Structure 1
């Protein structure tokens, strides 16, 4: 038998009375609730409802903030940041090795050169790793340039204190580095001055020249390091002037674009 006559169905419901109607409504309510919310599992052909959150009036999952904080905390201790921290730690050790034994002991100078070389090599890798594997953090953005300038500045100052390098060379190189950093902050509202190939060549030449001066070299190597340092100073000045030019162009362009936007709004 595939169906029930309408009269029979009606008679049955009528015989039940109000109590029967209420029981039928109560029996249908859980089924409607199951089909709407699906607590026992997703209904075929419909997507499961997303968990309630603050935006839809629900309470946030317990421990959600703690889990997010743990992720942010873990992201700080990545390989790129650890290399930057290593360079910062090497700075005081490098200074101690440079000045040990009056600064004239070839053995101590060789150890100082090893610390300087490790710092320069890690400088080549930490930025690349951060960009390649998406490890860029606010700490790295601030600490990386500080670590770079700290190890180079410590080496130049130690060499000048020991009389191995004229003070004017140290002043020119450090003045350029600090000046470019300040210049970038001044024009940051108009845009970012990108690192040029000349700047990378300057950094490499500076590292080789300073490393040769850290070692206790004699003979033709001592003469060669003079010319390498001369090339580093020339690149330092040339790239510094180029950064000034880029900053002026960037500022003028930014001012012109803002003026054009203001005129468009007024029109």
Structure 2
């Protein structure tokens, strides 16, 4: 029996030690493609692309609706998740200009600034979800997404404090916590990843609502309400920050213990 060459099957599938099912008598080219996808570990909803196929042929080779589209966009920085992140970065200077427009206390200008801030917060919810759901995670997104998050929040807090609407110590606590936890994550990444907790997500939501209420020019009971919302945001900021420090310490100790155990096992 004459086998199908490895180049036609999308890879050296014969390396497993058994002949692929696609090499059975009467096997079609589609059978070979399906077998090569299974051998290479490709996800469901994709088919093999023949060597030398151009971008258009490669795009047509992907099937499976949204999952297939994600597989095509995955290799490109210009996917929808990264575009939303870029939009947030571009909104930062526009937001600052609107916040400081006409002296910084004009209700109309502040309303436009609130709209820009709201768009940034909404895109923050969607870009990460899209990246994880449709496998659009890229190195650019991993770096740019947290930068965009902290840039818009930091710009809002600094503008509010500069205008006298928010005490500087509140801005210092929130920004200090965010920058400190980001640095802490990098320091312990060799031992593992600190996952985002429910408390951290609630903190982010509360911060966004509180800062958004301060961006608007509110009076009466709404002005009193925003004070308590900001107070809750500060408490959650401190509590979740301490919890992340605890997790980092536990993660580091566990990682060191595992390394020592591995070294002792290797020596023994």
Instruction: From the two aligned structures, give the one with the greater helix fraction.
Output: 1
Cα deviation digits, residues 90-133 of structure 1 (max 9, x gap):
00000000000000110000000000000000000110010001
Q: What is the CA distance between 1:197 and its match in structure 2? A: 0.1
Q: Give CA deviations for 1:208-247 in whole Å, capped at 9, x if unaligned.
A: 0000000000111001000000000000000000000000
Find the counterpart in structure 2 of residue 255 from structure 1: 256
The aligned residue for residue 173 of structure 2 is 172
When the two structures are superposed, what TM-score results if normalisation uses the length of structure 2? 0.76
| d(CA) in 2 for partners of 1:254, 1:186 | 13
Q: Which residue of 1 is the match for residue 158 of structure 2?
A: 157
Superposed CA offset, 1:15-36 (max 9, x none): xxxxxxxxxxxxxxxxxxxxxx
Other structure's SS at 1:76 match: coil
- In structure 2, relative to structure 1, the CA distance for the partners of 1:262 and 1:50 (3 Å cut) is closer
Report the counterpart of residue 7 of structure 2 in structure 1: 51
Q: Where does residue 241 of structure 2 map in the other structure?
A: 240
Distance 2:127 2:152 in 1: 15
Match of 2:48 in 1: none
TM-score by length of 1: 0.76
Compared CA separation, residues 173 and 133, structure 1 to 2 (3 A): same
Partner of residue 94, structure 2: 93
Q: In structure 2, what is the Cα distance between the partners aligned to 1:206 and 1:76?
A: 29
The alignment status of 1:105 with 2:106, answered yes or no, reads yes
Cα contact 2:74–2:136 (8 A) shared by 1: no
Correspondence 1:108-127 to 2 at 5 A: 108-127=109-128
Q: Which has the larger radius of gyration?
A: 1
- Measured after TM superposition, the shift of residue 51 of structure 1 is 3.0
Aligned-residue Cα RMSD (Å) equals 2.4
Gaps of 5+ in 2: 13-50, 59-71
| Alpha-carbon distance in 2 for matches of 1:94, 1:222 | 21
Match of 2:26 in 1: none
